[in-house]
Amino acid sequence: MIKQYLLSPGPTAVPERVLLRMAHPMIHHRTPQFSAVFAETKRMLEQVFQTSNDALMLASSGSGAMEAAVTNLCSPGDTIIYVNGGKFGERWGKIAARHGVRAVEIKVAWGEAVDVAEVKAALEAYPDARGVFLQASETSTTTEHPVREVARLTACMENCVTVVDAITALGVIDMPMDDWGLDVVISGSQKAFMLPPGLAMIALSDKAWKLVETASCPRFYFDLVTERKNQQAGKDTTAWTPAVSLILGLNEVLKMMFEEGLDNLYARHALLARAARAGVQALGMRLVSSAPATSATGAWVPEGVDGAAFVKYLRDTMGVTFAGGQDHLKGKILRIAHLGYYDVFDIVTAISAIEMALDRFGHPVEMGRGVAAAQAVLADRFPAAAR
């Protein structure tokens, strides 16, 4: 038997409490019983989005909500600006192209955050742009983009919105949607929401809802106006059959988040991120990102170690699943998740596993060095004991 540890940035580990809630017998979705849970869940979800607008739940993975953002805000022939600093940024361009929306790319080197001056210049060059689309946390490069600063640029533009893929940022960092003027915020269940995949969430500002009125891209399943009508108080259901079990699970997850307290939750994530960075760096592994994300830590696998074989060995021989790199980072990096149901000893396990795997790959490593560096950071999580 090899005990399994899931430390990939989505899907992430699901707490026992949530698994048990989802194991309850199925209920019908057009019933007062479901509507009561749905309404409570939606209210709590809006507190995590930190919005007074509706946070809508869609039965899809996160990419469904990304597509919904494009089709509900744009018409064929419109122009959008998008930040392409990795696999998920690139996706904005692909979605737009499919819908006949012209996508102006701001190319960012993988591992770097977008330069706000470049966004400003693009908005000046394309004043009719319908929106700036970007990631709060670009998971493929474990990088955070400055979404708040970008939102400041579009705030004074009547027909241009900031659309934020916060799939690995919401519930990880404090990003108050309304306060920061983020017009669209998107998330997904299998990340900080500690659920299996299959549920996407999306919220729009008043300004974004106004743009929806004139957007003519074809849409049916992801028609957000229809969804909003159904999901608002009074109806408290979804337009189509919802992911019932995931919504019950989300109800439990949100209760857990509020029991912890959002400030504590953000502080925990920040601490784990700092510890993971300290751990890998102490092992001589360089960080992939110059603006490292709070959700996951990407590190270059040392020269001479085959990154793909390394990740495979960790998973199949040691039972610890990390994510490797995508595209040109394939076989070169390793990504450690710390978003959602993770705590001190998950990071200790992660760093310890990397140390032991490096040793097994014949890479010179001082056993315990990375773990000690992580522990030095993690100790802050616990109060000093009374003596």
Ligand X SMILES: Cc1ncc(COP(=O)(O)O)c(C=O)c1O
Contact footprint for ligand X (CB under 6 A): 10, 61-63, 88, 135, 137, 139, 165, 167-168, 188
State in angstroms the smallest separation of the CB of 101 from ligand X: 18
Report the residue number, 34 or 342, with the smaller CB distance to ligand X. 342
Tokens coding 32: 């007062």
- CA-based Rg of the chain, rounded to a whole angstrom? 21
d(CA 325, CA 307): 8
State in angstroms the smallest separation of the CB of 323 from ligand X: 9
Q: In 3-state terms, what secondary structure has residue 195?
A: coil
d(CA 112, CA 114): 7
Report the residue number, 95 or 283, with the smaller CB distance to ligand X. 95
Query: By C-alpha distance, which of 8, 14, 17, 80 is closest to 255?
Result: 17
State in angstroms the smallest separation of the CB of 62 from ligand X: 3
State in angstroms the smallest separation of the CB of 189 from ligand X: 8
Q: How far out from the chain centre does Cα 12 lie?
A: 11
Q: What is the DSSP letter of 9?
A: S
Tokens coding 348: 């200790």
Report the residue number, 186 or 373, with the smaller CB distance to ligand X. 186
State in angstroms the smallest separation of the CB of 186 from ligand X: 8
Max CA distance (Å), the chain: 70
Residue 340 sits at φ, ψ, to 5 deg, of: 105, -130
Query: By C-alpha distance, which of 317, 329, 379 is closest to 353?
Result: 317
Q: At what angle do helices 147-155 and 116-125 cross, to 10 degrees?
A: 30
Report the residue number, 168 or 238, with the smaller CB distance to ligand X. 168
CB atoms within 10 A of CB 382: 8
State in angstroms the smallest separation of the CB of 261 from ligand X: 25
Report the residue number, 91 or 352, with the smaller CB distance to ligand X. 91
Torsion angle (degrees, nearest 10) of CA 329, 141, 197, 323: 50
Report the residue number, 147 or 373, with the smaller CB distance to ligand X. 147
State in angstroms the smallest separation of the CB of 324 from ligand X: 13
Report the residue number, 135 or 352, with the smaller CB distance to ligand X. 135
Q: In 3-state terms, what secondary structure has residue 141?
A: coil
State in angstroms the smallest separation of the CB of 250 from ligand X: 15
Report the residue number, 135 or 154, with the smaller CB distance to ligand X. 135
Report the residue number, 136 or 318, with the smaller CB distance to ligand X. 136
CB-count burial class (<10 Å; 0-12, 13-18, 19+) for 317: exposed
State in angstroms the smallest separation of the CB of 373 from ligand X: 27
Residue spans of beta strands (DSSP E) within the chain? 5-6, 55-58, 79-84, 102-107, 131-135, 137-138, 143-144, 161-165, 184-188, 200-204, 296-300, 320-321, 333-337
State in angstroms the smallest separation of the CB of 307 from ligand X: 19
Any bridge partners for residue 83, and if so which?
Answer: 106
Q: In 3-state terms, what secondary structure has residue 97?
A: helix
Report the residue number, 51 or 139, with the smaller CB distance to ligand X. 139
